[in-house]
Amino acid sequence: MRRALPAASRVLSCRLRRFSTDIVTEDVSASNNLTKEASLYVHWPYCLRRCTYCNFNKYVPKDNNGHVMAECLQRETETLLQLSQVSCITSVFFGGGTPSLAPPSTISIILETISKHASLHDQAEVTLEVNPTLEGRSKLVDFHHAGVNRFSIGVQSLQDEDLKRLGRDHSSAEALQCIREARRLCPGRVSVDVMFGRPSQTFESWEVELSELLQVCDDHVSLYQLTLERGTQLFKQVQGGNVTMLDEEVVSEMYQHARKTLHQHGFQQYEVSNFARNKSGSLHNLSYWKGRQYIGVGPGAHGRFVPLGEGGVSREARTQTLEPDVWIREVQERGHGTRRRIQLSHLQLLEEVLVMGMRMTKGINHKHWELFSPVLGLNEIFGVSVGVRELLQSGHLIMDDRGLRCSWDGLAVLDSILPVLLVELERILLADTRRFFLVV
Amino acid sequence: MKAGRHFSCYRFSRVLLSVPQTDTRGSVDLSKFPVDRIRNFCIVAHIDHGKSTLADRLLEMTGAIAKTEKNKQVLDKLQVERERGITVKAQTASLFYHHKGQQYLLNLIDTPGHVDFSYEVSRSLSACQGVLLIVDANQGIQAQTVANFYLAFEAQLAIIPVINKIDLKNADPDRVESQIEKVLDIPKEECIRISAKLGMNVEKVLQAVVERIPPPTGSIDEPFKALVFDSNFDHYRGVVANIAVVGGRVNKGDKIVSAHLGKTYEVNELGLLRPDEHPTQKLFAGQVGYMVAGMKDVKEAQIGDTLHLQNQPVEALPGFKPAKAMVFAGMYPVDQSEYPALRSAMERLTLNDSSVTVQKDSSLALGAGWRLGFLGLLHMEVFNQRLEQEYNASVIITAPTVPYKAVLSSARLIKEHGSEEITIVNPAHFPDRSVVAEYLEPMVLGTILAPDAYTGKIMSLCLNRRAVQKNMVYIDDQRVMMKYLFPLNEIVVDFYDLLKSLSSGYASFDYENAGYQAADLIKMDILLNGQPVEELTTIIHRTRSYSSGKAMCERLKESIPRQMFEIAVQAAIGSKVIARETIKPYRKNVLAKCYGGDITRKMKLLKKQAEGKKKMRRVGNVDVPKDAFISVLKRKEK
């Protein structure tokens, strides 16, 4: 797994990074680290074109303002790191938009900025989403030099017809080349994003596509279901009757088939959409699901952290300004573009921990829960509920010494399980608050 | 103030009008109107044939109201009445009219136009000696024309046929006259052709009222005796009773007794309705007016009750049939937090409508509410509309049901119930076949009038509704009158709408109650994964069970969200399943998508689902949203 230290920029960044030893936080020390650590997400908002299905915060740039964007991302990173007072950034993720459109120098500047204000271990996971065009592929080396050590490649489909229909600007051949190149640079640290439930797909074509994919992919696969979102071109097409979305049953079968097939090829499903072998799970995404702090930098980025720097004591849900131009102006004026800050109540925090945690196949273990809810354990909260008992009996949920988690079947219907758990969580917590007040 | 405003109307009086003599207090001296100069009459008509317009003209011509453009349906005070062009609450107006050198007191007692309100109609009729039967010169005789005619005929009243709207381009009064002759057996010559809208020939109507309607019987010298034919509730004065003085006289301050309750009251206020209240000191035999006598509850002023003076008892007038609810429906607040507000609205509304029966009810799915009994479908709709319009209350109304009966065979049960025959309103109380000699269902005699082009379609609709044809006649060369005996249950939901649509709106329908008939009734349960859903149990005719069960299962399937397991939605009679729908389980219900840290939206969605879950009703292991019950139980929107 260890890589040779390459390139000049890497040397530079290593010098600047403060070394820390606790890159993989274990639960033992987790409690202390909850507010000292965070992962960091950087949003690059630009795309060359809009995909028909995408409702993410992205813009087709009018002019070349990459330089200003780089400056502002750097500036906001500084501001938010200071605000959060975290001493360690455990992972970095460059997402978008199309972050592979960003100049590699921007990536390196941001990583350097992080290192200046917090420790970022040189083995800390730094992921970049790559659009597998010729441009994306040719810049991989430079991104790697800039400090990226994990690539997530937006393959989406191996069918050229579909790629065209979805509005993607690459071919399947280009995607395969990109995967090869990325694997060469970061062996074992390349993920592919694939989309199922596409309007023209059939179960059979998905079977074929999946086995093709298994022949070329590295050790990580993210499977996303195409969802119809308002405001997208696809939405209009479906409304206009020009495109028909697949039947729910077929999509279910596609999902189940992929889960089985990936499992047979040694991939462990560790989350609803994510599969890894050889311990190549994405640490960055895992830290979301484990309820850790994260700092969101860039237009429309989301964060969850305690703003210790201004005396905050509870975690906030923070959203940055959406429109890049407005965000840029705000960062230039006051150092950050945070548009919305909401203090999470204890209940809200636990709700997020529950909802995110249950997405993992390992679920929520007792220690993990205790970190956030030291008084009321999983058993106290979920042990007495009729609804939960039914889920345990029907085999959708498992609760044991390890903790609370979904069964294989349960994970596929998580969104039907979560409301039951949320009702129970709220009920017990409110009852507990009342009891607390009665005692006082 | 009301009276004051009223007096000002006299300035607009027309030649016809002579100012009635007033005593020193400024009120009318009613002693100047002996019985033979009084006429009590009402106007009956099919909907929209111009009853209210004629009433407006009569009021104007006799100076009761000023003649202005605004006089439209003066007697229809309720918003629902004006909107639907119907009269719900009977109103009374006393008119002064000069005829051949004599001044007459004409009491116009307005009546509801629809047979649902036939109880109100019969109350009003009982205070009258004659009716004006209005028929539209274009539409001719309609179902309600016939129904109203028979009510008046049975009450032995003088009937004056009035053909209205002769100004219309398509008016064909000749045809209508022959219809009247043929169907109602009234000679053509007796018809008066008018245009109430233009005031054309309305004078002739007033003359006919005086000449053709007999004066009330009874004399001023008899002991006081009055009929209560309507009542209203006023927050300040209590009950305001509308009375027809049958004999003798009554003075303000008199002690009177209600023959029904035996309670004594003091008369605080007396007067005429013109149509606003116009206080007087006395009312005399033959006159019609209002009385306030310290009654606190409308139940104290029972419709049909007889009033007499204290210490001068009289033989009570023949009582009225009490209103009998024929259509029942559950009524629930949309949100349980609105229950108290809805309750107070219902209380206020029922104060003025004693014909609605109210019973508290509670449904596991819909919460606390009421089971209401109505005289008929229109009555139910009007009640609902008044609740919404006048009290701003929004309600869920369940599909209407009818009262069934069972003749018990089990001696033990007969003893328990105290009678052999029991009425079943709630399906939960439906006795098992094994203890029942026979079940009975309410029947109605329906009258349908339509152009003969639609006869075929109408006959097959009626056959479909288990109706038996009793009679069919051509009332002229194009229009047919059909009489059918229907099970009431078959017409309460959508019959009228279907009839209207298949006849392009040309068919009219009316019905009267026709007792009970033996019927093959069964109780149908709806099961979710084998568990019966109490609030969906229905009593139904065996031949209807399959289609109705299937429809209910289908509607439930549409409105119960998929769950993690399969749900069997079944309709069953006893242990026999007659219809089934299956709600497939979710095989996948999880968003396989990367959030990029944006979980706010997903959290909101999940929280909303969790909130919804709390409000769902659990049947066995199935969560059923309230909307599912509403979609099955609720009366379908038109």
Q: What string of DSSP letters covers A188-244?
A: T-EEEEEEE--TT--HHHHHHHHHHHHHH--SEEEEEE----TTSHHHHHHHTTSS-
Q: Is B141 within any annotated ligand binding site? A: no
CA distance B512 to A108: 90
**Contact residues on chain B for A222, CB-CB shorter than 8 A:** 594
Name chain B contacts of A288, Cβ cutoff 8 Å.
595, 597, 599
Please report how many Cα atoms fall inside a 13 Å half-sphere around the Cα of residue A367, on the Cβ side. 8
In whole angstroms, give the CA distance from residue B303 to residue B613: 49
- Give the range with max mean pLDDT: A347-361, B20-34, B383-397: A347-361
CB contact under 8 A, B606 and A317: no
- CA–CA gap between residue B47 and residue B45 (Å, rounded): 6
Beta partners for residue B580, in sequence order: B570
Query: What b/e sequence results for B259-269 when a residue is b if at least 16 CB atoms lie within 10 Å of its CB, and e otherwise?
Result: bbeeeebebee
**Above 80 in pLDDT, residue B18?**
no
For residue A434, the model assigns a pLDDT of 67
Q: Which residue has the higher pLDDT, B114 or B169?
A: B169
Chain A residues in contact with B599 by the CB 8 A cut-off are 288, 302, 352, 355-356
State the Cα–Cα distance between residues A273 and A152, nearest whole angstrom: 14
CA-based diameter of chain B, in Å? 97
The CATH homologous superfamily for domain A31-287 is Aldolase class I (3.20.20.70)
Is there a contact between B588 and A390 if contact means CB atoms under 8 Å apart?
no
pLDDT tens digits along B558-568: 989 899 899 99
Residue type, position B558, single letter: E
pLDDT at res. B51? 84
pLDDT at A19: 37
Judging contacts by C-beta atoms under 8 Å, the chain B residues touching residue A99 are: none
Select from B177, B162, B103, B85 the least CA-distant residue to B131. B162
Which among A415, A417, A386, A423 has a CA at the least distance from the CA of A404? A417
| Backbone φ, ψ for residue B513 (5° rounding) | -65, 145
Picking from B179, B172, B188, B170, the residue whose alpha carbon sits closest to that of residue B474 is B179
CB pairs under 8 A between A and B: 107
Q: Does A356 reach chain B within 8 Å, measured CB to CB?
A: yes
Give the pLDDT band (50/70/90) at residue B633.
confident
A279 burial class (0-12, 13-18, 19+ CB within 10 angstroms)?
exposed
Say what the pLDDT of residue B495 is: 87
Q: Would the CB atoms of A412 and B590 count as touching at under 8 Å?
A: yes
Distance (Å, rounded) from C-alpha A359 to C-alpha A357? 5
Give the pLDDT of residue A160: 94
pLDDT band at B1 (very low <50, low <70, confident <90, very high): very low
Measured CA to CA, the distance from residue A223 to residue A196 in angstroms comes to 7
**B296 and chain A in contact, CB less than 8 A:** no
- Does B1 contact A at CB distance below 8 Å? no
Mapping DSSP to helix (H, G, I), strand (E, B) and coil, where does residue B638 land? coil
Chain B: give the shortest CA distance to residue A53, in Å.
Answer: 13
Task: Give ranges for CATH 3.20.20.70 in chain A.
Answer: 31-287
More reliable by pLDDT, B15 or B620: B620
Whole-number Cα distances in Å, B386 to A157, B89, B241, B502: 61, 12, 22, 29
**Backbone Cα Rg of chain A:** 22
Test A396 with B594 for CB contact under 8 angstroms.
no
Q: Tokens 């040694």 appear where?
A: A266
Q: Provide the pLDDT for residue B89.
A: 52
Range list for CATH 1.10.10.920 in chain A: 346-431
What local confidence, expressed as pLDDT, does residue A8 receive?
37
Closest CA to A270 of A285, A251, A252, A255: A285
Residue B175 and residue B145: Cα distance in Å, rounded?
15
Kindly calculate the radius of gyration of chain B based on its CA atoms and give it in whole angstroms.
28
Q: Which residues of B touch A252 (CB under 8 A)?
A: 586-588
Tokens at B211, concatenated: 């000449």
Q: For chain A, which ranges sit under pLDDT 50?
A: 1-29, 439-440
- Asked if B88 contacts B78 with a C-beta cutoff of 8 angstroms, the reply is yes
CB distance from B609 to chain A under 8 Å? yes
* End-to-end Cα separation, chain A, in angstroms: 55
Q: Is B417 annotated as a binding residue?
A: no
Residue whose structure tokens are 């009290």: B391
Which residue is it, tokens 């005619």?
B149
Res A5: pLDDT: 36
Q: With 90 as the cut, is the pLDDT of residue B39 above it?
A: yes
Q: What is the pTM of this model?
A: 0.69
- The least confident of B432-436, B568-572, B620-624 is B620-624
Give Cβ neighbours of residue B415 (< 8 Å, ≥ 6 apart): none
Residue of chain A with shortest Cα separation from B614 = A423
H/E stretch holding B375 = none
Residues of chain B with Cβ-Cβ distance to A192 below 8 Å are none
Residue pair A419/B609 in contact (Cβ under 8 Å)? The answer is yes
DSSP assignment of A117-186: HSB--TTSEEEEEE--SHHHHHHHHHHHHHT--EEEEEEE-S-HHHHHHHT-SS-HHHHHHHHHHHHHHS
Chain B CB contacts of A412 below 8 Å: 586-590
Q: What is the mean pLDDT of residues B277-296?
A: 91
Q: Which of A225, A301, A423 is opposite residue B614, by nearest beta carbon? A: A423
DSSP string, A381-396: HHSS-HHHHHHHHTTS
pLDDT at A1: 35
Q: Which of residues 218-277 of A touch B (CB under 8 A)?
A: 222-225, 227, 248-249, 251-253, 255-256, 272-273
Cβ-defined contact of B588 to A224 (cutoff 8 Å): no
CB burial readout B500-513, b (16+ within 10 A) else e: eebbeebbbbbbeb
- Element (H or E) spanning B240, and its range? strand B238-247
For residue B230, the SS3 value is strand
User: Mutate which of A44, A356, A413, A417 to test chain B, going by most B C-beta atoms within 10 A?
Assistant: A413
What residue of B is the nearest CA neighbor of A359? B590
pLDDT of B615 reads: 75
How do residues B179-230 score in pLDDT, each as one tens digit?
Answer: 999 999 999 999 999 999 999 999 999 999 999 999 998 888 899 999 888 8
Which chain B residues are within 8 Å of A415, Cβ to Cβ? 589-591, 606, 609
Number of C-beta neighbours around residue A36 at 10 A:
17
Residues 6+ apart with CB under 8 A from A258: A196, A206, A210, A223
B603 touches chain A (CB under 8 A): yes
Contact B592 A223 (CB under 8 A): yes
Residue B513: pLDDT band with limits 50, 70, 90: confident
pLDDT in tens, B571-605: 999 999 999 999 999 989 988 775 566 788 889 98
Query: Which residue shows structure tokens 């740039």?
Result: A61
* B167 assigned to a ligand binding site: yes
Q: Sort out which chain A residues have CB atoms less than 8 A from B597's CB and list them.
A: 41, 288, 294, 296, 301-304
In angstroms, rounded to a whole number, what is the distance separating the alpha carbons of residues B476 and B455?
14
| pLDDT on residue B208 | 96
B590 at A interface, C-beta within 8 A: yes
Q: How far apart are the first and last CA of chain B?
A: 43
Residue type, B481: M
Residues A287, A271 contacting (CB under 8 angstroms): no
- B598 contacts on A by Cβ (under 8 Å): 302, 319
For B247, phi and psi rounded to 5 degrees?
-150, 160
ipTM of the complex in this document: 0.86
Q: Which residue of B has its CA nearest to A411?
A: B590
Q: What is the CATH number of domain A346-431?
A: 1.10.10.920
Residue B146, pLDDT above cutoff 80: yes
DSSP B12: G
Mean pLDDT, chain B, integer: 83
Contacts of A358 in chain B (CB under 8 A): none
Q: Which residues of B touch A248 (CB under 8 A)?
A: 588
Confidence tier at B421 by pLDDT (50, 70, 90): very high
- B53/A8: higher pLDDT: B53
Residue B543 assigned as binding residue: no
Q: Answer whether B597 sits within 8 Å of A296, measured CB to CB.
A: yes
Say whether B319 counts as a known binding-site residue.
no
B92 vs A270, which has greater pLDDT?
A270
Question: What percent of chain B has pLDDT above 70?
Answer: 86
Taking residue B403's Cβ as centre, other Cβ atoms within 10 Å add up to 21
Check CB contact under 8 Å for B587 and A256.
yes
CA angle B24, B27, B33 (to 5 degrees): 105
Report A:47-76 residues touching B (Cβ under 8 A).
56
Query: Inter-chain contact A351–B607, Cβ cutoff 8 Å?
Result: yes
Q: How far is B592 from chain A (nearest CA, A)?
A: 5
A12 or B271, greater pLDDT: B271
Determine the average pLDDT of the residues in B88-113: 80
**Cα gap A16→A18, rounded to integer Å:** 6
CA distance B368 to B364: 8
Closest CA to A155 of A181, A176, A182, A186: A176
| Helix (H) / strand (E) containing A41 | strand A37-44
- Contact with chain A for residue B310, Cβ under 8 A: no
Is B523 flagged in the annotation as binding? no
- Give the closest of A296, A412, A417 to B587, CB-based: A412
Residue of chain A with shortest Cα separation from B621: A390
What is the rounded CA–CA span in Å between residue B350 and residue A38? 66
DSSP string, A9-34: HHHHHHHHSPP-S--S--HHHHHHHT
Look at A338-347, B391-400, B464-473 and tell me which has the smallest mean pLDDT: B391-400
What is the Cβ-side half-sphere exposure of residue A403, based on CA atoms within 13 angstroms? Answer: 16
Please report which residue ranges of B336-376 form alpha helices under DSSP H: 339-351
For residue A197, the model assigns a pLDDT of: 94
How many residues make up chain B in this entry? 638
Portion 111-130 of B in contact with A at CB < 8 A: none
**What is the DSSP secondary structure assignment for residue B180, as one 8-state letter?**
I
Question: Strands B357-363, B288-292: parallel, antiparallel or unpaired by DSSP?
Answer: unpaired
Closest residue of B to A358, CA-based? B590
